[in-house]
Amino acid sequence: MAKFDVIFIGSGPGGYVGAIRCAQLGLKTAVIEKDETFGGTCLNVGCIPSKALLESSEFYHLAGHDAAAHGVKISKLEFDLTSMLSRKEKIVKDFTNGISFLFKKNKIESYKGTGKILNPGLVQVTAANGTKTELEATSIICATGSVPIQLPFLKFDEKQIVSSTGALALTKVPNELIVVGGGVIGLELGSVWQRLGAKVTVLEYADRICPMMDYQTINILKKSLEKQGMKFITKAKVTGSEIKAPKVELTYEDLESQTIKKLSGDVVLVSTGRKPFSDNLGLEELGVKKDPRGVVLVDQHFQTNIPGIYAIGDLIPGPMLAHKAEEEGVALAEQLAGQAGHINYATVPSVIYTFPEVASVGLSEEQAKEKEIPFAVGTFPFIANGRAKALGTTEGQVKIITDTRSDKIIGGHIVGPRASELLGEIVIAMEFGGSSEDLARSFHAHPTLNEVVREAALAVDKRARQM
């Protein structure tokens, strides 16, 4: 029987990055993956294909709406959805093949099949043809990720009632797309299809979209998306659906007026969150503790209540994000190799790749209030920035939140052009325990969008210069 120091079950960002770090540290490592390709949700049906379609559709939208302002004339503008989808598929394939290459390069053994933990130290792999192989390992790491939540009255057929996976592969632009759930997936994939011509209506249960994010920041995004044509119905509890070919009719309760309403569309995207996936992994038989939502509970070393069995990524508490899964894989690998890997959960960035983008780290204003932290806020708009003007994208602002007792940055929220890239500066400042003064005193090349970050840092102390 093959014997390893570490076996990862699941090859998403948690599993594949963790396995590479284990191998780099000299641990004999194997990865088990049930799907045909490596890379998990992120590479196959998540981060990468969604960003590919967001870029293509934004390209089309900008060509149609903004090129003329730059003096660029396009006489006949059209898009070819088949090419857009093939481009997305090629990007996915390049990355998933890249993981196979990285496994070979790092001498990581890979097994295709479903992994099940029979006992601490013993894993069974069942291949697609039914062949079973047993493997031994000192440490077994569950990195089996998450799957979309399915509502009982909206079963996915991935054609008309779709999860994110179906929404990434529609072969025709729907005339009317209804999005159930105004979170990250709803806004990103709703944007893709809206830019390509669909009328998009978002039904959100809460009183606002993206309820966990900084209110002022999300409100700026909401207004911008409304200007682009997206409709939002909040306080809407969807209770039923009926196929009335070729349409789907949804029934929802308007929680404000307490009346029942109907809405029809060609396609319904259900994006009401994801749930941890640990079916057939053997955890129940072994008595591994989970919370009522199926989240696997671990200690600060990612170990479950059963010694030798660990879990990382979407399977455990915390935001379901690829970079969080990756960092957990790395920290655990380093701990298993006797090093001091650790994660600072206060600085996990999160991004919504809409136009404009939203990027956040740390506490929102609402969370700072709730925690009774004395705080100061500095904001600065992109409209006053030379680079943003040159780009022709001046919507949005940067907001920096500091603890007034120390000036230490406790939150950063950007809505605007390239927010995802700009946030990095605030994340690093927070990681180093930095203050708004530190950001304000650091050189920022001119003219760059980053100058808005510095101005927001200056605004904390009411000394922004350019407004």
∠ CA 344-273-171, rounded to 5°: 120
Q: How many residues does the chain have?
A: 467
Least distance to ligand NAD from the beta carbon of 351, Å?
Answer: 5
Any residues with CB less than 8 A from the CB of 466 and at least 6 apart, and which?
380, 384, 385, 451, 455
Per CB under 6 A, the list member of 314, 327, 425, 455 interacting with ligand FAD is 314
The item of ligand FAD, ligand NAD, none sharing an interface with residue 364, based on CB under 5 to 8 Å by kind, is none
Q: Quick check: 57 binds ligand FAD (CB under 6 A)?
A: no
Contact residue for ligand FAD among 110, 144, 385, 393 (CB under 6 A): 144
Q: Binder to ligand FAD among 20, 42, 52, 332 (CB under 6 A)?
A: 42
191 binds ligand FAD (CB under 6 A): no
- Nearer CB in complex with ligand FAD: 168/459: 168
Q: How far apart are CA 394 and CA 407, in angstroms?
A: 28
Q: Is residue 185 a contact residue for ligand NAD (CB under 6 A)?
A: yes
The residues near 90 (Cβ < 8 Å, ≥ 6 apart) are none
Among 229, 319, 386, 392, indicate the residue that binds ligand NAD (CB under 6 A). Answer: 319
Question: Which residue, 40 or 174, has its beta carbon nearer to ligand FAD?
Answer: 40
Please give the Cα distance from 347 to 369 (Å, whole number): 18
Nearest to 321 by CA among 167, 116, 453, 183: 183
Sequence-distant (6+) residues with CB within 8 A of 341 are 330, 331, 332, 333, 334, 335
- Rounded to whole angstroms, the Cα distance separating 433 from 436 reads 10
- Starting at the edge strand found earlier in the chain, the sheet holding 397-403 runs 350-352, 357-362, 409-416, 397-403, 375-381
Under rule CB under 6 A, residue 272 binds ligand NAD = yes
> Does the footprint of ligand FAD cover residue 32 (CB under 6 A)?
yes
DSSP letters along 371-403, please? TT--EEEEEEEGGG-HHHHHHT----EEEEEEE
DSSP type of residue 296: B
Taking alpha carbons only, the member of 189, 241, 232 closest to residue 211 is 232
| 354 lines the binding site for ligand NAD (CB under 6 A) | no
Question: What is the C-alpha to C-alpha distance for residues 390 and 395, in angstroms, rounded to an integer?
Answer: 13
170 in contact with ligand FAD (CB under 6 A): no
317 binds ligand NAD (CB under 6 A): no
* Cβ closest to ligand NAD, residue 42 vs residue 400: 42
Stretch of 183-191, 258-266, 292-300, 374-382 contacting ligand NAD, by CB under 6 A: 183-191
Instruction: Give min distance, CB of 398 to ligand NAD, in A.
Output: 19
Residue 166 Cβ vs ligand FAD, minimum distance, rounded to whole Å: 11
Q: Is 183 in the site for ligand NAD (CB under 6 A)?
A: yes
Which of these segments, 215-223, 268-276, 304-312, 335-343, binds ligand NAD (CB under 6 A)? 268-276
Name which position in 181, 329, 341, 378 contacts ligand NAD (CB under 6 A). Answer: 181
Catalytic annotation, residues: 446
Q: Are 461 and 454 in contact (CB under 8 A)?
A: no
Return the closest-CA partner of residue 39 out of 13, 1, 60.
13
Gap between the Cα atoms of 82 and 222, Å rounded? 30
The Cα 2–Cα 348 span in angstroms is 37
Site string for ligand FAD, 382-421 (x = CB under 6 A): ----------------------------------------
Q: Decide: 54 and 88 in contact? Cβ < 8 Å.
A: no
By CB under 6 A, is residue 145 in contact with ligand FAD? yes
* Closest to 57 measured CA to CA, from 190, 196, 201: 196
The window from 27-35, 90-98, 152-160, 174-182 that contacts ligand FAD (CB under 6 A) reads 27-35
Per-residue binder mask for ligand NAD (CB under 6 A), 216-255, x = binder: ----------------------x-----------------
Among 29, 50, 304, 379, binds ligand FAD (CB under 6 A): 50
The SS3 of residue 437 is helix
**Least Cβ distance, residue 224 to ligand NAD (angstroms):** 17
- Run of H or E including 199: strand 199-203
- Say whether residue 115 binds ligand FAD (CB under 6 A): yes
Of residues 275-294, those binding ligand FAD (CB under 6 A): 277, 280-281
Write the single-letter amino acid at 334: E
Q: What are the tokens at 23?
A: 């191998």
Separation between Cα atoms, residue 451 and residue 464, nearest integer Å: 11
Please say which residue, 33 or 451, places its beta carbon nearer to ligand FAD.
Answer: 33
- From the CB of 381, what's the least distance to ligand FAD, in Å? 26
* Cα–Cα distance measured from residue 133 to residue 150, given in angstroms and rounded to the nearest whole number: 33
Among the listed residues 208, 231, 235, 323, the single contact to ligand FAD using CB under 6 A: 323
Q: Give contact residues for ligand NAD (rule: CB under 6 A).
A: 151, 180-186, 188, 203-206, 211, 238, 271-274, 319-321, 350-353
Applying CB under 6 A, which residues contact ligand FAD?
9-15, 32-35, 40-42, 46-47, 50, 114-115, 143-146, 164, 185, 277, 280-281, 313-314, 320-323, 325
